[in-house]
Chains A and B, each alone.
Chain A
Amino acid sequence: MGKSPAEARDGASSGSFLRASRCAGVLLLCVVSLAGCAKGILQPEGPVGGADSKILLDAVGIMSAIVVPTIVALVVIAWWFRASNTRARYQPDFVYSGRLEIIVWAIPILVIMFLGGLTWIGAHELDPYVPIQSSAKDPPLDVQVISLDWKWLFIYPQQRVASVNELVIPARTPVHFYLTSASVMNQFFVPQLGSMIATMNGMQTQLFLQADHRGDYYGVSAQFSGDGFSGMHFIVHAVAPADFQHWVAATRQNGPVLDRNGYFDLLRDSCDVRPFTYRSADPSLFAAVVRRQLPPSSGPSVGRAGPGVRAVGCG
């Protein structure tokens, strides 16, 4: 814990305070997670994840500046005024003080005002719909995401290929995701790349992400979606742009075709699906799902009540 509020007020600029508080936040969270080596949201690999976790640590730092002294004061006061301590002065009439009340209300209000500013800026700058300011000359790569029971379908409309439970993207290039769901709600989330976003039937959400380095990143669904939910994870391969082109070319060579029939095959419930790719994909599919022109997935088998109802292909 680096800074007390007094020191913070004396700080030359809010920037230095933020940096200090961020250090405090990092310290606190590291104590919590010992997360130095493990890959989580505090080891971001992209600009969105980096900004998200920076705000997270800033907020922790700002609050620690007030919460930690409060906790310490609570412990000290409770211990000092124990009944057996004869040195403590008993003041049963100390029940109201206007000056203290002002301070008592002011401290949380000031912290919240400060934090409110952070919230306002963060909510706008990091709105998932806002494109990433990138130095890359290439336009963002479009990827259409459909969550199914229980796997992820990624369609590359420009490349006209598709993949399941495996997302290959070029590093250092923004990726523009369009997302929807063919059945129940899910949340698309790659912890190391940044923000998550919901996928919902009949609606389209958008998200911009970017991987700064080549590597494999773990992706999950963050919204419980039924019996096969635990298996609904995927791998993001961030590769060099040239390698991405190679992957597209290779993918076009073999694999099934994602047309309406292929989609209906995929729509059936299945769990723990191994990643595979489609050599060609119908780019109009996504819009048809969003507009509910294609039927939603059918859910588990019908009819039996009680424990007899089981998910198809799971459990």
Chain B
Amino acid sequence: MSAEPARACVPWAAADMLGKLTWNAIPFDQPIPLAAGSLVFLVLIAVIAWVIIRGHLPYLWHEWITSVDHKRIGVMYTILGLVMLLRGFVDAIMMRSQQAFAFHAGGYLPPEHYDQVFSAHGTIMIFFAAMPLMIGLMNFAVPLQLGVRDVAFPTFNSTSFWLTATGALLVNLSLVVGEFSRAMWLPYPPLSELRYSPGVGVDYYLWALQISGVGTLLTGINFVTTILKIRAPGMSYLRMPIFCWTALATNLLIIAAFPVLTATLGMLLLDRYVGFHFFTNSAGGNMMMFVNLIWAWGHPEVYILVLPAFGIFSEVISTFSGKPLFGYRSMVAATMFICLVSFLVWLHHFFTMGAGGNVNAVFGIATAIIAVGTGVKIYNWMFTMYGGRIRFTTPMLWALAFVLTFTLGGMTGVLLSVPPADFQLHNSMFLVAHFHNVIIAGVLFGAFAGITYWFPKAFGFRLHEGWGKAAVVLTVAGFYTTFVPLYALGLLGMTRRLQSYDVAAWRPWVIAAGAGIIVFCGALACQVMQLVASIRQRESLRDLTGDPWNGRSLEWSTASPPPAFNYAVLPNVEGEEPYWQIKRRAIETQQLAAEPDYKPIEMPRNSPTGFITAFFCTVTGFALIWHIWWMVGLGLLGAYVVFVWFAWRDRDEEVIPAEEVARVDRARRRVRAQWLAHNAREEWLAVHGQRETA
């Protein structure tokens, strides 16, 4: 046994003021990342400059950056998710095009760059695109659906967002300062240990995830407390909208799973920074432990992402079928079932490590059992549509595309849970195709459905239908042209993460997958056009009533966009679909409910705490990555000062006077009354007439 060379950088031994940071860190010799990174930063600086010159900074600061309003935070999360989705998509384009050129050739990305690209793609898509999109939609919709004014801990909510943004910032900073991890999106040791990854890439990865992980954990705590303890009067558990149930399951998973990630990455950090031996190739280190621990987080993570998407689809399918969700309680049971079983399957990510027949069989069967919950959901969505009046709006099209595509992905997933099949498909392109099949069809379609569905609630006008539908069609087409070839490649024995290859039989499929990316680009163009067209035609797309889709849950009962306090008085919930009842009663009696007695409302004050905390975390994280120890100390001190300062403030709430509440709510009631007088009865009869006459 040879002694481990003293590689670990010891804090007190660092002589240089800037630690490992030198001009060498800027990739002057690599034009692609340099150009891309410079472009991103130029755009960023241009945007900031524009904001300052046009005098928007005070508005941004007071209304958005320091906002603790769950709706604003939700919107910011969603924007962050979309921007990062774009960044991850650029990585995807590079990977597909590199492989298309790399038959018997080097392509245009050398391995040390290509390895960063696919590591960054996975990391960004999961942690900084999918997670923010889902958390953003939960942030926006859950308190509204529960009929309350905010989440349990609004300031923590803002902190969560800014910590996530910090993580995203660090990952993107690695484009121009240093490098990103080359050790895959889950940094398996020993490859990710200092010995095999001596650069700062893995450190960027680890600190970005540790910081954003704290934010995600806070989100989890925040939402579980909100959903379990803060609901409108009368909203018992079995009256909560299904999206709230899936959000509850997701956040329970976050609380239980994210500490595992923190602990695991923490051990790897100790290995890399102070020479511990958790996962090293020497002194008794055990890399299998990392693989077990990381997947004990990693598999629940899959359901953290996909469960809220299931909730969105349930809401969308029910709304646009004009029916309550079929088998609501069954859906709740299936959700909680998935939530529980998702912790019992992690080993299926490494059947090929030789665990033996019994272990593999047990985990294989457990994995297949999860599919029961999903299968139940698919059938319940089917029966929700059965007997409905389906309006094929953009969100509904996303939902249909999801159900059809996801079923296929679920099937290949169950296939991979059969150990002998996995022995041949593990880490192959088939696996890549499978998880894109479930993540794109599940999470991404879910996010798009949710965004189109709640966009009018957030901004007061609907998104353009034509461009939206074009985006759905092109995305689905792009999906199949990209990933069916990848399924085929997996069956032909092609493994993932190849920078180049020399098997002729793979080539046509690789090129076909590359063509699929072009279709995806078309879909992206449609999405951009949808946004542009919607903003330009916003007057004709305006949602005046607050209920653009003939919705069923509480969020549609308030104005679009909702006032800061959401509801002038907390709604009184009497059944599973509270707003549907209110609406029905109003239409049948031809009048709104009596005007309530308006009272002053206490709302949390805006606070820069989250932003400042994140600032210090960015400083600390950057300093840790580059071993700039004095800056680490400074950052930690700053964080502690912010904590004390936040604890010290005396006034953390402000009161909205009753007159203001009354003014806002009366305006809403006027529009409602007009709608009731003019269109409601005709609209209602047109859709529901049959039922009354039957």
Contact = CB atoms under 8 A, between A and B. Distances in A.
> Is chain B in direct contact with chain A in the complex (CB below 8 A)?
yes
A197 interface: yes
Interface stretch (A14-22, A82-90, A247-255): A82-90
A8 interface: no
A220 B196 contact: no
A126 B484 CA distance: 28
B571 interface: no
Contact of B21 (A93, A100, A305): A305
A32 B386 contact: no
B615 interface: no
A189 B360 CA distance: 19
Interface string A143-171: 00000000000000000000000000000
Nearest to B577: A95
Given A184-B191, A224-B184, A299-B196, A129 B354 contact: yes
Q: What's the interface size class on A, roughly?
A: 35 or more
B357 A124 contact: yes
A201 B321 CA distance: 56
A119 B30 contact: no
Contacts of B419: 119, 122-123, 126
A59 interface: yes
Contacts of B357: 123-124, 127, 130
B420 A55 contact: yes
A203 interface: yes
A245 B428 CA distance: 35
Interface stretch (B38-46, B363-371, B661-669): B363-371
Contact of A115 (B2, B353, B368): B368
A218 B500 contact: no
Contacts of B591: none
A224 to B, nearest CB: 4
Contacts, number: 364
A139 interface: no
Contacts of B188: 184-185, 223
B340 interface: no
A226 B196 contact: yes
B637 interface: no
Contacts of A105: 330, 372, 376
B327 A119 contact: no
A112 B491 contact: no
A60 B356 CA distance: 24
B266 interface: no
Given A63-B415, A82-B390, A227-B115, A104 B379 contact: yes
Contacts of A314: 111
A4 interface: no
Of A307, A309, A310, which is in contact with the most chain B CB atoms at under 10 Å from its CB?
A307
B196 A205 contact: no
B628 to A, nearest CB: 12
B636 interface: no
A78 B400 contact: yes
A71 interface: yes
B492 A39 contact: yes
Given A63-B415, A108-B375, A305-B24, A94 B326 contact: yes
A93 B387 CA distance: 9
Contact of A71 (B368, B407, B501): B407
A134 interface: no
A25 to B, nearest CB: 10
Interface residues of B, number: 116
B675 to A, nearest CB: 21
Contact of B497 (A74, A77, A224): A224
B200 A315 contact: no
A128 B423 contact: yes
B441 to A, nearest CB: 13
A41 B25 CA distance: 44
A49 B493 CA distance: 12
A1 interface: no
B361 A120 contact: yes
B470 interface: no
B658 interface: no
B378 A70 contact: yes
Contacts of A202: 281, 285-286
Of B328, B419, B496, which is in contact with the most chain A CB atoms at under 10 Å from its CB?
B419
Contact of A32 (B22, B197, B328, B487): B487
B590 interface: no
Contacts of A39: 492-493, 505
Contact of B200 (A51, A107, A231, A306): A306
Of B286, B322, B382, which is in contact with the most chain A CB atoms at under 10 Å from its CB?
B382
A35 B491 contact: yes
B30 A112 contact: no
B386 A205 contact: no
A130 B356 CA distance: 9
A90 B389 contact: yes
24 contacts: A32-B484, A37-B505, A38-B505, A39-B493, A41-B424, A56-B418, A70-B407, A81-B385, A81-B389, A95-B327, A104-B330, A105-B376, A115-B418, A122-B419, A124-B361, A184-B196, A220-B495, A221-B495, A228-B111, A229-B498, A300-B196, A306-B22, A307-B112, A309-B198
Interface of B: 1-2, 7, 20-22, 24-27, 29-30, 33, 110-112, 115, 177-179, 182, 184, 188, 190-191, 195-200, 281-282, 285-288, 321-328, 330, 350, 352-354, 356-358, 360-361, 364-365, 368-369, 371-372, 374-376, 378-380, 382-383, 385-392, 400, 403-404, 407-408, 410-411, 414-415, 417-421, 423-428, 484, 487-488, 491-493, 495-501, 503, 505, 626, 688, 690-691
What are the 9 A-B residue pairs with the smallest beta carbon separation, nearest first?
A: A191-B493, A108-B375, A91-B387, A195-B423, A40-B492, A123-B361, A124-B357, A306-B25, A38-B505
Given A124-B357, A187-B352, A194-B423, 4 more contacts: A38-B505, A228-B111, A306-B177, A315-B110
